[in-house]
């Protein structure tokens, strides 16, 4: 499947857990001090992108 999952790897994740709290379907985990999205749970709503301060700076 070629679904486009938001890529936190390219970002400077501050592991603030904001995206984890905001994700309605709980598709985000913080592993190795950066956020990782579980593709099978993510519904691509984009909420995590909107609230992540690190991503907004890119």
Q: Which residues bind ligand SF4 (CB under 6 A)?
A: 6, 8, 13-19, 22-23, 25, 27-28, 30, 35, 37, 42-48, 52, 54-55
Tell the smallest beta-carbon distance from residue 25 to ligand SF4 (Å).
5
Tell the smallest beta-carbon distance from residue 2 to ligand SF4 (Å).
16
Tell the smallest beta-carbon distance from residue 1 to ligand SF4 (Å).
15
Token digits for 49? 């992108």
The C-alpha atoms of residue 31 and residue 58 are separated, in whole angstroms, by 21
Q: Are 52 and 19 in contact (CB under 8 A)?
A: yes
37: β partners: 28
């Amino acid at each position: 499947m070629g679904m486009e999952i938001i890529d936190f790897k390219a970002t400077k994740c501050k592991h603030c857990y904001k995206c984890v709290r905001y994700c309605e379907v709980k598709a985000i985990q913080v592993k190795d001090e950066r956020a990782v999205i579980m593709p099978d749970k993510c519904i691509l709503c984009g909420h995590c992108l909107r609230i992540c301060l690190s991503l907004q700076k890119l």
